[in-house]
Amino acid sequence: MKGLLTGALVAVQFLTVAPPLVRRDVTPRELGKAVAYFPLVGLLIGLLIFGLQRLLEAVFPASVGAAILLGVWILCSGALHFDGFVDAVDGLLGGRTADERLRILRDERVGAFAVAAGGTLLLLKFGALGVIGARPAALIAAPLLGRWVMSAAIALYPYGRAEGLGRAMKENSGWQQFAVASLFTAAVLAALAPLAGITATAAAVVVVGLGAWLLTLFTLRRIPGLTGDIYGALCEVAETLCLVTLAAHWPL
């Protein structure tokens, strides 16, 4: 039980702006085990977002509430995943060789591609949130699936650098962590399906899975493996695809 709790706390500490929950150096093994609990972090973020939305809708128009909600959503992770997304756009679409692209991925500066892609992603999320409103199925499913995609990417695909936190996670995680993350995600989605509709939920899972798989394939054609920035990009893309898909199925 102590190991399970530590893994969950490490996942929360790593993926959110929560203060240090494990007050010592985290071992590489614990980092790997934490991958299984990434969807749990998504569930916690989703519950927070849903609760906040219920408060905002009582005070603000839908568009203003959606803007505030989106800002808090990004703040929950300290913009970690959004930063990874914009860096990934610059890196994957730039450079002539894999080494150049990996170098660009580490560059803190952002280019025109990153600005345009980041703005488009935020607009898509904002528009979808305005349609969905305070519906728990969508507000919980999106961050849940986003973190599940990260668990899958870490456990199933090669890492692209010789060192780093991502390397430690990759080397200490595998099918076990992916299986736990998948079972937890499936259980939560099954509970949410009656609220969102079985068809809409299934469509969101299929679209998210297909989108994440295609982005991963494209990445592996550009660089030899995934990186921390790519994990963040996968999370952002999965969240956006989930929100847009559910918004498209939601009765207006």
Distances (CA, A) of 151 to 59, 96, 131, 250: 37, 29, 29, 28
H/E element, 19: none
pLDDT given at position 252? 45
Tell me the C-alpha distance between 91 and 199, whole Å. Answer: 36
In the block, residue with structure tokens 């956006």 = 240
DSSP-derived secondary structure letter, 197: -
DSSP state string for 71-139:
HHHHHHTTTHHHHHHHHHHHHHHS-SSHHHHHHHHH-S---HHHHHHHHHHHHHHHHHHHHH-S-HHHH
Tell me the C-alpha distance between 151 and 34, whole Å. Answer: 9
Residue 227 near residue 159 (C-beta atoms within 8 A)? yes
H-only helix segments in the chain? 2-15, 28-34, 38-56, 62-76, 80-93, 98-106, 112-132, 136-156, 165-171, 175-196, 198-222, 228-249
In the block, residue with structure tokens 């961050």 = 143
Tell me the C-alpha distance between 57 and 70, whole Å. Answer: 14
Write down how long the chain is.
252
pLDDT tens string for the chain (252 positions)?
555 678 889 999 999 998 877 777 788 888 899 999 999 999 999 999 999 999 998 899 888 999 999 999 999 999 999 999 999 999 999 888 998 998 988 887 788 889 999 999 999 999 999 888 767 788 999 999 999 999 999 999 999 887 777 788 888 888 999 999 999 999 999 999 887 778 888 999 999 999 999 999 999 999 999 999 999 999 999 999 999 999 887 654
Full-model pTM? 0.93
